Structure 1
Amino acid sequence: MSDTDSEPTYGVARYLAVEHVDSPTFTPAGRLLFLSDASGTPQVWTVDAAGAWPERLTPHEERVSTVAASPTDEAFVFGMDSGSDERDQLFHHDLRTGAETPLTDAPGSKHAWGAWDPDGDRIAYAANREDDGRFDVYVQRVGAGGGDGYGEPTKVHEGPGGWLNVATFGPRGDRLALTKPRSSYDVELSLLDLESGDRRTLSDGEAATYSHLHFDGDGGLYCVTNRGADTAHVGRFDLESGELEKVAGGDGNRSGEPGTDAWDVGALAYDRDAGRAVFARNENGYSAVRAGTLRGTEFEPSASPDVDGIASEFVFGPDAERVAFTHTAPTEPYGVAVAAWGEREATDWTPVGTNGVPPESFREPETIRYGMFDGREIPAYWTLPEGASAEAPVPVVVDVHGGPEHQRRPWFHPTKQFFLNRGYAVLEPNVRGSSGYGRTYASLDDVEKRMDSVADVAAAVEWLDGRPEVDSDRVVAYGRSYGGFMVLAAITEYPDLWAAAVDFVGIADFTTFLKNTGEWRRSHREAEYGSLEDDYEFLKSISPLSRVENVRCPLFVQHGANDPRVPVGEAEQVVEAVREQGVPVEKLIFEDEGHHTTSRENLVEEFEAIAGFLDEHV
């Protein structure tokens, strides 16, 4: 708790009720659809102008995970799971009548949204309907124009096993672009001919990423890729020759490691008819947006929306006269902004209130870097609460992101602001293995180098020791998913550094995790962590459970019983093992949640329990 009384404290329910709005998509009539958790779980909402009152469209208690407007009809498709189990089913919603039609009914299978065809009468997606460990490609007719022409899913391609994603339809609706991630930085890109069933590989075998795919209608395919480079750029495939040329946003062969000014392109939208494009570079976590016209491999810049913070999920409206995007900043909740083409000013179409918490009380981070054993510098965001000083030192939450190929960025975190309001400082390191700094940096924790990233967390605490406003006896390890593993590894490898630890859905033992995770995920995860067949003993040796006798600080463990990624057994076994050591441990498992806690009611219970735990032990 805060040692000062200069700022009122607010309950966690106030912070968690700050809405999160994202996933914009435009209908042909210009209505903006988006996901908002205003009702307690993410649902589809709509608004047709800035400042207009939004309307909720889906009435469900379960979370909606995706929404995609038809390109030709006032309708959309959305995906929804049950109990946060990630086994989404797809539904069609007619905006004229409000009628919802289930498109799939296979609750044991995961349906991963893909794309609408250009005529708006079919959709394509990937699903593991026949084999839990294999995603196949399906095409399905939908009821365009308010009709009843719904069809059954038709399998058009059997996948090779593991993940397979449908990226987009070709301009004539006769082919699909597919991506298959073999690992986070090794993606196979191919084209599927829907008439012949033939599949042509565009990627050349070099480990590289391909995302944000758009056919240009002139024999080309645009993408964001890091092929031939350390950082990602906008590229174009010539579909006749198969050659890939760099178009925009690239930094050549320069390294993107922290301390340089070479950056990844992280988003791209393109309108084929207008030839307009907009993309964003990830510059030290913040977004630099670029707009312009794409003709072949030539990019002609235009005026770009000014963004203070982070912009993502760009999408064009009708005739590409405006572009919408998800926007957030350290002190600004997630919302959707819209900019007219050629204008620098973007307007917030989904203003979000703060439930009486003064926005000026939200704290912004400082971007810092600290040195490591190999001379590298680890980037991090450092945020102090009001009143922190050498005379009033504060406890610190060291928050490690999941992934591991993920990046902590300076977006709005309601729970982070909650902890700051309670008097905790927050340090968020992007340890080696994080994305956003080029693929060399992202690979620095692969397999046998795994524990180097844990050393980065310990070095973060050493950096804290030099801060006079920090109480170094009250440092908390805190992380979700892979970040949960990092928490458990940190308190077993460096037990003297921590006053307490909070593990959300973390990996306690890599061998049991890989045995029990969803079959479709295993090969992808083994490429990052090591395989059960080849690396079993090594994986066992670096698992926190193998050193659980070292745990000295109190531990809080949260998990969802329906988690398909990190099965709940990881939580059960670490809680039992820590209790056997006589160390205080608290467990909170939700029977109706999965890898993420999606119900606001459960979230409030979760963070009230964590706050009480930290009050007691820190």
Structure 2
Amino acid sequence: MKRYTIEQFMATTSMLGASFSADEKRILFSSNATGIFNAYTLLVDGSAQQPLTHSAVDSLFSVSFFPHDDRVLFTKDRGGNENFHLFVLDLDGTERDLSPGDGLKAQFMGWRPDGSAFYVSSNERDQRFFDLYRYDAESYTRTLLYKNEQGLDLGPISRDERWLGLNRANTTSDSDIYLYDILKQEIKHLTPHEGAIAFRAETFDPASQKLFFLTNEGTEFKQLCTYDLFTGAMAEHECADWDVLNTYFSSNGKFRITGVNQDGSVVIRVVQIEDKEEGVRETPVPLPALPEGEIRGVVFSRTGARMAFYVNGDRSPDNLFVHDFNTGFYKQLTQSMNKEIDPADLVEAKVVRFRSFDGLVVPSIYHKPQEASASNKVPAIIYVHGGPGGQTMRGYNAQIQYLANHGYAVLGINNRGSSGYGKTFFTAANRKHGREPLWDCIEAKTYLASLGYIDHERIGIMGASYGGYMTLSALAFRPEAFKVGVDIFGVSNWLRTLESIPPYWESVRKAIYDEIGDPVNDIDILVATSPLFHAKEIRKPLMVIQGANDPRVVKAESDEIVEAVRKHNVPVEYIVFPDEGHSFTKKKNQIEANRRILEFLDKYLKGEEMKLGMGEIGRVP
């Protein structure tokens, strides 16, 4: 097995999104081939890849071709501040901001079926709430369709432009759907209920007669149901033994695509829609036999003749494919993996489960280094996802593969509170952060130590965002458990984080307070669960990585925990990227962060044998 540098891993290209041109001969997508995301096109035969934009400062993400010409919509923010604006790239190459101004956030919400207009959400009127506008596709003049004064989240728009689906998060596990009649300017509550039940509007059917929505009412997992807009009748439409993630129709209305979260993997279902005398019939569409991996991001051309999609595997990053329904053939259009990396040197992930302190079964995604054996025990990392209600899933992860390639076992724990495993599991962490979810991580360490090829004295913990909080909590509240911690823009002080959340999160503020704590009424709880106030307990080496423009976990969160831990002469390495926010989108920063993480782990966790003096061999503490 060959070891690869972080530069080699990052030479792999990341790609996002897909949109067919009006003539269906080209596909628009985003790529970071230059080190920063820009918009590109390529022909459906995979040739003639061409950059459309040339940003060298901020990452830029393509949104859509215009339906009838080669204009392009794209979005970008400044330095990772998440205040994304919507731009149009005109036929002459000029760029125009369709949402000018400071301190606002705009998002593309879809096309009118005839392509004459598109929809955009914006919080320019009130930073707390997003209004809905219709933009004319030629003049870019706009019309306000919905003035959001109720603090609801915008959902789908019906094709006849009569209906708007709206969502309200009461708590992280309890939500409602509202229906807005654009013509009459009337709003209706569709899902009055008791108890914690999740409802979310997904899409309208092509005939604008039904609203498709997700709910876990009466079941552990989210199922797909419909609401008849004229009779009010609700019915179950599609179910699975796992959460249905989403559903949407192709632009011509002839196909419906559904994603299912199946035990940490995404499974795509496609059905063809046929109008029969007895009603609408849905016929499953067989998907092409593909290389190892999962189909993701399915998009149809306007006529439905072609389907673009990505395939992602544990040892293979996203590659763009196109399937032609007329010929039955499919083609891989891109090769995103660095040719210097042999996939055989990488690690196939495995779903594992262990019982936690109270008997709860905790699922995880596990990467075992190839060289690990009973005679060659390796160090390990508990890798905690963001959220709190996120999920570690299967699929290519350059950071995890880099660590596994350099001899670290990585357990991507889905501790209680993670999504994807039913509503009981999801709500099991409410008001318990810093305690029971952390204790799951402690039991994960016990599980790893039981495998026989893990060095139980060399187990660390790392994560980003909420995973960073869990890292700090582990070092502060269970200082004996882990040898090191790597915190990537993690919360250290819940009081400040909850008080400083972006204004456009107003619609979910109450839900966040319900799960974590209210910064006014729950001060004692939040102080007790904030690592900053217990920093004197941290005694193990700590690495902290932060984006200076992070709007979610502000830089002060990392500044203060670093200062507090250093006061006690604990080794702390601190890296701040001045041009990043709550994720790192620039390759140069990804390279620097991951290189430094490996160096830190090699020094303090792996304890590489090195000469400490003349002829003296020992371990770095």
Partner of residue 591, structure 1:
578
Q: Deviations over 1:270-296 (max 9, x none)?
A: 236453222232221123332223466
Q: Deviations over 1:438-465 (max 9, x none)?
A: 2221111111466211111111001111
Partner of residue 303, structure 1:
286
Partner of residue 400, structure 1:
384
Q: Deviations over 1:495-522 (max 9, x none)?
A: 1121211000101111111011212323
* Distance (whole Å) between structure 1 residues aligned to residue 209 and residue 322 of structure 2: 30
Cα gap change, 1:452 to 1:175, in 2 (>3 Å): same
State the aligned residue count.
Answer: 593
Q: Does 1:470 align with 2:454?
A: yes
Partner of residue 385, structure 1:
369
Cα gap change, 1:338 to 1:230, in 2 (>3 Å): farther
* Distance (whole Å) between structure 1 residues aligned to residue 113 and residue 431 of structure 2: 43
* Distance (whole Å) between structure 2 residues aligned to residue 337 and residue 217 of structure 1: 30
Q: Deviations over 1:251-275 (max 9, x none)?
A: 4xxxxxxxxxx21122323236453
Q: Deviations over 1:29-84 (max 9, x none)?
A: 21321121112122221122133232111222311245133344433322110101
* Distance (whole Å) between structure 2 residues aligned to residue 50 and residue 226 of structure 1: 42
SS of the equivalent of 2:307 reads strand
Partner of residue 437, structure 1:
421
Cα gap change, 1:598 to 1:152, in 2 (>3 Å): same
Partner of residue 164, structure 2:
176
Q: Does 1:288 align with 2:282?
A: no
Amino acid at match of 2:59: R
* Distance (whole Å) between structure 1 residues aligned to residue 128 and residue 517 of structure 2: 18
SS of the equivalent of 2:150 reads coil
* Distance (whole Å) between structure 2 residues aligned to residue 159 and residue 55 of structure 1: 43
Cα gap change, 1:291 to 1:342, in 2 (>3 Å): farther
SS of the equivalent of 1:320 reads coil
Amino acid at match of 1:17: A
Percentage of matched positions with identical amino acids: 28
* Distance (whole Å) between structure 2 residues aligned to residue 318 and residue 489 of structure 1: 50
* Distance (whole Å) between structure 2 residues aligned to residue 32 and residue 304 of structure 1: 20
Checking the alignment, whether the CA contact within 8 Å between 1:21 and 1:350 is kept in structure 2 is no
Partner of residue 221, structure 2:
231
* Distance (whole Å) between structure 2 residues aligned to residue 371 and residue 455 of structure 1: 11
**Structure 2: any 5+ residue segments left out of the alignment?**
606-621
SS of the equivalent of 1:51 reads coil
Checking the alignment, whether the CA contact within 8 Å between 1:269 and 1:314 is kept in structure 2 is no
Cα gap change, 1:540 to 1:359, in 2 (>3 Å): same
Cα gap change, 1:128 to 1:523, in 2 (>3 Å): farther
* Distance (whole Å) between structure 2 residues aligned to residue 535 and residue 16 of structure 1: 43
* Distance (whole Å) between structure 1 residues aligned to residue 511 and residue 39 of structure 2: 31
Amino acid at match of 2:270: A
Alpha-carbon offset, residue 596 of structure 1: 0.7
Alpha-carbon offset, residue 158 of structure 1: 2.4
Checking the alignment, whether the CA contact within 8 Å between 1:286 and 1:310 is kept in structure 2 is yes
Q: Deviations over 1:417-454 (max 9, x none)?
A: 11112111111111111111122211111114662111
Among 585, 588, 599, the alignment partner of 1:612 is 599
* Distance (whole Å) between structure 2 residues aligned to residue 486 and residue 593 of structure 1: 22
Amino acid at match of 1:110: K
Cα gap change, 1:455 to 1:82, in 2 (>3 Å): same
Partner of residue 339, structure 1:
323
Q: Deviations over 1:380-403 (max 9, x none)?
A: 122121211121111112111101
Partner of residue 28, structure 1:
22
Q: Residues 267-278 of structure 1: matches in 2 within 5 Å?
A: 267-271=246-250, 273-278=252-257
Alpha-carbon offset, residue 490 of structure 1: 1.3
**Structure 1: any 5+ residue segments left out of the alignment?**
1-6, 144-148, 252-261
* Distance (whole Å) between structure 2 residues aligned to residue 24 and residue 183 of structure 1: 33
SS of the equivalent of 2:435 reads helix
Amino acid at match of 2:11: A
Checking the alignment, whether the CA contact within 8 Å between 1:304 and 1:342 is kept in structure 2 is no
Q: Does 1:543 align with 2:537?
A: no
Partner of residue 6, structure 2:
12
Q: How well do the aligned residues superpose, as a CA RMSD in angstroms?
A: 2.4
Partner of residue 609, structure 2:
none
Checking the alignment, whether the CA contact within 8 Å between 1:236 and 1:297 is kept in structure 2 is no
Partner of residue 243, structure 1:
233
TM-score by length of 1: 0.90
Alpha-carbon offset, residue 169 of structure 1: 2.9
Q: Deviations over 1:562-601 (max 9, x none)?
A: 1111111110111111111221111111121110111111
Partner of residue 221, structure 1:
211
Alpha-carbon offset, residue 122 of structure 1: 2.6
* Distance (whole Å) between structure 2 residues aligned to residue 268 and residue 349 of structure 1: 25
Cα gap change, 1:536 to 1:210, in 2 (>3 Å): same
* Distance (whole Å) between structure 2 residues aligned to residue 570 and residue 219 of structure 1: 49
* Distance (whole Å) between structure 2 residues aligned to residue 514 and residue 370 of structure 1: 33
Q: Residues 570-581 of structure 1: matches in 2 within 5 Å?
A: 570-581=557-568
Among 588, 596, 610, the alignment partner of 1:601 is 588
Among 126, 139, 145, the alignment partner of 2:121 is 126
Q: Residues 434-583 of structure 1: matches in 2 within 5 Å?
A: 434-448=418-432, 451-521=435-505, 522-583=509-570
Cα gap change, 1:450 to 1:491, in 2 (>3 Å): closer
Cα gap change, 1:544 to 1:74, in 2 (>3 Å): same
Q: Does 1:264 align with 2:264?
A: no
Alpha-carbon offset, residue 354 of structure 1: 1.4
Q: Does 1:361 align with 2:341?
A: no
* Distance (whole Å) between structure 1 residues aligned to residue 230 and residue 11 of structure 2: 52
Among 131, 139, 142, the alignment partner of 2:134 is 139
Checking the alignment, whether the CA contact within 8 Å between 2:38 and 2:62 is kept in structure 1 is no
SS of the equivalent of 2:391 reads coil
SS of the equivalent of 1:402 reads coil
